[in-house]
Structure 1
Amino acid sequence: MPTTTTAKSVFDAGLPMLGYDIDAEPAQAWAHIREAQRVAPIGIGPAGPEILSYEYARAIMRDPRFTTPPGISLMAQGVTSGPLYDKVMATLLCIEGDEHVRLRKLVSKAFTPRATTRLHDTIDTVVNGLIDSVADAGRCDIVEDIAKHYPIPIICALLGAPSEDWKLFSDWTADVFKAFSFGTDLETETPTVLRAWGELDAYVDEMIDRRRGALTDDLISELIRAEDDGDRLSQDELRTLAASLLMAGTDTTRNQLAASVQVLCDHPDQWAVLRDNPEFAMRAVEESMRHSPAVCGTPRWVTEDADFNGYLFPAGTFIMVNTYAANRDPAVYDDADRFDVSRQGAPAILTFGGGVHYCLGANLARLELAEALRILATRLLNPRRTAATRWKPMLGMTGPESLPIEFDVVARA
């Protein structure tokens, strides 16, 4: 028997309209978001309802009636079957239900702090090498010269791929990621994506075969070792998880590193605080992801009519959990719009998601960003932007398209 409810449909509840365009940058959308947030915890944005309050966002990301829409970038172009669809839907980003729970449980056994802390030397080498390449010029584009080249070597080292193959992984990732991007013309790019994905799979298969004969201390070996009540990952699952890690951990880190450097450059007092207090690096990560995130929201699909805090979300509704708004909710954060790398005791940011799809690589991402910001703040003195920057649209993966800066540089310690 259907459940009756007195809740009013979210579309008929007189909620504030968010007057920004779908291709707006975060800074362009912010005034509209803040104005709506003062009126209600939910607003109606260009793509549908947006959750604006911290408490509502946190709850909805943990509510099983609101699920992550699988393969949303493919469905946006009408791709609902075929080889590419099957590949994307097999990734950990898209699997739901019991199978998702099973895979996360196994993967979490391999994704230990020990698996990430051993990357310190690689991170130090990569970041310092990138700074060395631009030091003499006294200027660079943080996006093109630093952030673009940073995450792939770290993920490759985590997986156990040798440094001479980092360029291969970079090329494969660039092509495969097209399947997850809203800006891709899949009609023309699908063959390129499938070719690159096939080459990546073949490489990872060889890695897996070698590790089965002689396990080491890399993530591939840890995934092979992972076991839960006799259950282990299959070859197909191992291969898919390696690809999932590359897709989830590359573009996000690139964009967030550039976004974090920009907000630090725009607040030179905070750059100085980080320079003089390198132990604040992890706080700088949390604060820059709260204040200037590269991921401003997470989409959800309503699986059944859902009465949530007196609002009815009809089944089939697409909503956006606006973590950008939630992370600056003045009801939760003191002086929410202030950027302060020494901020302490604040509620956990929601940028890494929540519930069953909370980011498995959150600790790795934090480590990568913290170490990069610590080294950059130590070596690049008096950084200043030399041109205005445009950001990619907020509804998607955002971040500065370019970030030209000048700086005074110091030698390595």
Structure 2
Amino acid sequence: MTAGSATRSVFDAGLPVLCYDVTATPQEIYPQFRAAQQQAPVALGPIGPEVLSYQLARTVLRDPRFVVPQGIHLSAHGITSGELWDQVTRSILNMEGEEHRRLRGLVSRAFTPRATARMRDTIHTVINELIDGVLGDGRCEFVAAIARPYPIPVICALLGAPRQDWQLFSRWAEDIFKIVSFDCDLAAEQPAMLRAWDEFDAYIDEMIAARRRRLTDDLLSELIRAEIDGDRLNADELRMLAFSVLIAGTDTTRTQLAASVQVLCDHPDQWALLRERPELAMRAVEETMRHSPSMCSTVRTVAEDVTIDGYTFPAGTFIIVNTYAANRDAGVYDDPTRFDITRADPPPILTFGGGVHYCLGANLARLELAEALTILSRRLRHPRRIGDVEWKPLLGMSGPRQLWIEFGS
């Protein structure tokens, strides 16, 4: 941009315009993203400015002036107050400032790679049992048979809940996760969501009471132990954090596992390579999340006018950080539409966010996906996709609605 336009609003900067329906899929919209990306690092979308370039997206995610809008998904459904609003906006997923920093400081010690590595045996047991259930059939609908049930028993084990209660957790997650859905009437679903939330909280309260009597080696015990200069988490905070783990660690893993398996099936040479070289599993996770992510964007806003890289974002503007486009920025990734799990030292993907809101559970998510892909590639021979695959919309949680595959054993 020229010096004279350095302080102009993004709305007056002659930026490319994106015209798409909010129900459209990532694949349908991508040609627009790519064309706009060649003109400017920002475009104007149907909701607001969309940051498309890798460098600008990375900068915005790390800049504390760009904050998570309170209850953004609820606001989109016209819900701006009430019990559900209060519950959601008190979550660490919606926090900012000193309270957010304090909680992250206490919680981060429980999510180190060493801590999450303890889940490896549970992960292996769960994914192998799910594969056992379909292997003899030679085909399955992967979303329902494997991806959907996979993360909940892992979350139960992480928190320290008995594995036999995973179906309870699954039901609660299904109801509560409608918070971030664009596919339902949220106002009509509120009673069921609040009922599930109350049941989950009551269950966690019993677990907290039991752990205070006798600590174990699960996440809830680690959160109770967490202390910085005498500061500890209270019962309300422990309950809220357990909820955040359930929400942040369930549908994201489900949808990404399905998306990752689809792109690997569509590139059989890459599936075979992963089978032959399981040490590539973590690279496969990064590349599938770069090329075919289930979480394609994140939303930010600003309390006052913010100018960055010559673009001014007016106070109150909703900003889409389009990580789907940024992770395919040709200025950063060589041949960005190519799917290649052997990419050497690629820039870090932006799918897990950045800055103070970088995903706390990223280590666990990577481990769950890497171990699942390793075992799937070993046990399912020559998988191939059957028919077309419909994806969920770009906004919110995307990924395949169904994924039918055939395979040998």
Q: SS state of the match for residue 312, structure 2?
A: strand
Is 1:122 matched with 2:97? no
Cα distance in 2 for partners of 1:67, 1:315 equals: 11
CA drift of 1:21 comes to 2.4
CA drift of 1:5 comes to 8.7
Question: Which position in structure 2 is the counterpart of 1:71?
Answer: 71
Question: Which position in structure 2 is the counterpart of 1:10?
Answer: 10
CA drift of 1:241 comes to 0.3
What whole-Å deviation, never above 9, does each CA across 1:239-286 have from its counterpart, x for those lacking one?
110001000110100000000000000100000100100111100000
CA drift of 1:149 comes to 0.4
Cα distance in 1 for partners of 2:180, 2:97 equals: 21
CA drift of 1:6 comes to 4.7
Kept in 2, the 8 Å contact 1:18–1:44? The answer is: yes
Kept in 1, the 8 Å contact 2:275–2:374? The answer is: yes
Question: Which position in structure 1 is the counterpart of 2:263?
Answer: 263
Is 1:359 matched with 2:346? no
Is 1:380 matched with 2:380? yes
Cα distance in 2 for partners of 1:139, 1:118 equals: 32
CA drift of 1:113 comes to 2.3
Where does structure 1 differ by over 6 angstroms across 4 or more consecutive aligned residues?
none
Q: TM-score under structure 2 normalisation?
A: 0.97
Matching residue's letter, 1:223: L
Kept in 2, the 8 Å contact 1:115–1:158? The answer is: no
Question: Any residues of structure 2 matched to 1:229-268 within 5 Å, and which?
Answer: 229-268=229-268
Cα gap change, 1:214 to 1:239, in 2 (>3 Å):
same
Kept in 2, the 8 Å contact 1:159–1:220? The answer is: yes
What whole-Å deviation, never above 9, does each CA across 1:277-316 have from its counterpart, x for those lacking one?
0111100000000010001111111221111111111111
Question: Which position in structure 2 is the counterpart of 1:182?
Answer: 182
Question: Which position in structure 2 is the counterpart of 1:389?
Answer: 389
Question: Which position in structure 1 is the counterpart of 2:145?
Answer: 145
Kept in 2, the 8 Å contact 1:175–1:196? The answer is: yes
Cα distance in 1 for partners of 2:281, 2:29 equals: 28
Question: Which position in structure 2 is the counterpart of 1:96?
Answer: 96
Q: SS state of the match for residue 11, structure 1?
A: helix
Cα distance in 2 for partners of 1:21, 1:187 equals: 22
Question: Any residues of structure 2 matched to 1:160-171 within 5 Å, and which?
Answer: 160-171=160-171
Structure 2 residue runs of 5 or longer lacking an equivalent are: none
Is 1:346 matched with 2:346? yes
Cα distance in 1 for partners of 2:283, 2:164 equals: 33
Cα distance in 1 for partners of 2:100, 2:6 equals: 34
CA drift of 1:69 comes to 0.9
CA drift of 1:45 comes to 1.4
Question: Which position in structure 2 is the counterpart of 1:32?
Answer: 32
What percentage of residue pairs aligned between the two structures are identical?
65
Cα distance in 2 for partners of 1:254, 1:163 equals: 18
**Range 77-86 or range 31-40, more displaced:** 77-86
Q: SS state of the match for residue 228, structure 2?
A: coil
Cα distance in 2 for partners of 1:136, 1:346 equals: 38
Question: Which position in structure 1 is the counterpart of 2:402?
Answer: 402
Kept in 2, the 8 Å contact 1:134–1:140? The answer is: yes
Matching residue's letter, 1:394: L
Matching residue's letter, 2:262: Q
Matching residue's letter, 1:148: R
Kept in 2, the 8 Å contact 1:143–1:400? The answer is: yes
Matching residue's letter, 1:356: V
Question: Which position in structure 2 is the counterpart of 1:303?
Answer: 303
Question: Which position in structure 2 is the counterpart of 1:42?
Answer: 42
Q: SS state of the match for residue 147, structure 2?
A: helix
Kept in 2, the 8 Å contact 1:158–1:218? The answer is: yes
CA drift of 1:38 comes to 0.8
Kept in 2, the 8 Å contact 1:70–1:93? The answer is: no
Cα distance in 2 for partners of 1:186, 1:399 equals: 21
Q: SS state of the match for residue 349, structure 2?
A: coil
Matching residue's letter, 2:287: E
Matching residue's letter, 2:175: D
Kept in 1, the 8 Å contact 2:91–2:241? The answer is: yes
Q: SS state of the match for residue 62, structure 2?
A: coil
